[in-house]
Structure 1
């Protein structure tokens, strides 16, 4: 299987060779154009530099990612997820996360609105469900029926979810469900 990052790097080198401009110069061209939308930037690059659709689109997307990177580099992913009216849920998230950390090594992959917890595969998702509740999604084949354990439709990223409003809900039953998902993930 081809490495997408290597393919993009090769594509970018080819674009730089064809246009005679470095990626930084292309970013400055986009910024100087004053165009905000990717489609507008893509069209401008196609018109001014004779780039094809795919090359122009790649440059516009990479330029946008680079422009946004300094604002998010080193940023605390939980700060973005638990901003505004959801801020009070962060403490509950951290308490549950600390309990899950005791199960063993795993990766925490921040997403836009939740944290994915992975071993060989994802075993749980943790993030705000509402302004008042935290949601824990569990990727486990079969868990025993319980009033607070919601079974989700097949084909989703998780088979079950639990909503929590307080630290008192982080109990042995909940941690048992997490242990089952954790063990199944690898």
Structure 2
């Protein structure tokens, strides 16, 4: 059986939402709007704590309400990436391009899934994410099992709980043999 894409999984969740949660996606979006929450994490927390939704459903509703998923965003995937590297972060785009070049060379199972503030790299599951964190830095998050934090490969800490490690990149040349090796290992483990 082929692994489902994130869009296919989201569509399946939406199709089963009323049966599993008692309400349709549109009804949950209305509830999310009434919460007054405007940030993804706040919406998820509200739906889980006040309405008992599982994390998966709360996350999906939050993305649809805030239009922060690839399917909802204006301009689709390209529009999400374009927005991430607009304005003061425009000079970081060559770092992103270098990372995407490395990632797509890993194999034909690499899925590039832009979100509102980062780009997820997936195989069977997420193995990395690329996020322009500041005006001068892109953070590459990778999931590496049993890999000690050392040198440029630091623990993800508060950066992002969806990855185990973070590498700070300030120029395209920072996407070097070490970064390529870490991405390759994370891809192999996904």
Following TM superposition, by how much is the alpha carbon of 1:4 offset from its aligned partner in structure 2, in angstroms? 2.8
Following TM superposition, by how much is the alpha carbon of 1:178 offset from its aligned partner in structure 2, in angstroms? 0.8
Change (3 A) 1:144 1:76: same
Q: Which secondary structure state, in structure 2, belongs to the residue aligned with residue 76 of structure 1?
A: helix
Following TM superposition, by how much is the alpha carbon of 1:129 offset from its aligned partner in structure 2, in angstroms? 1.6
Aligned to 1:86, which of 48, 68, 89?
A: 89
Q: For residue 108 of structure 1, what is the aligned residue in structure 2?
A: 112
Q: For residue 157 of structure 1, what is the aligned residue in structure 2?
A: 162
CA distance in 2, matches of 1:173, 1:114: 22
Aligned to 1:38, which of 33, 38, 46?
A: 33
Counterpart contact for 1:143–1:177, Cα < 8 Å: no
Aligned to 1:72, which of 74, 85, 90?
A: 74
Structure 1 stretches of 5 or more lacking a match? 16-36, 41-53, 55-60
What is the root-mean-square deviation of aligned Cα atoms in Å? 3.3
Following TM superposition, by how much is the alpha carbon of 1:71 offset from its aligned partner in structure 2, in angstroms? 6.8
CA distance in 2, matches of 1:64, 1:177: 33
Does 1:148 pair with 2:152?
Answer: yes
1:24-63 equivalent positions in 2, closer than 5 A: 38-39=33-34
Structure 2 stretches of 5 or more lacking a match? 1-11, 36-50, 52-62
Following TM superposition, by how much is the alpha carbon of 1:90 offset from its aligned partner in structure 2, in angstroms? 1.1
Change (3 A) 1:118 1:153: same
Aligned to 1:6, which of 15, 21, 29?
A: 15
CA distance in 2, matches of 1:99, 1:62: 31
Aligned length: 139
Aligned to 2:182, which of 159, 171, 177?
A: 177
Structure 1 stretch 3-12 or stretch 167-176: which is displaced more? 3-12
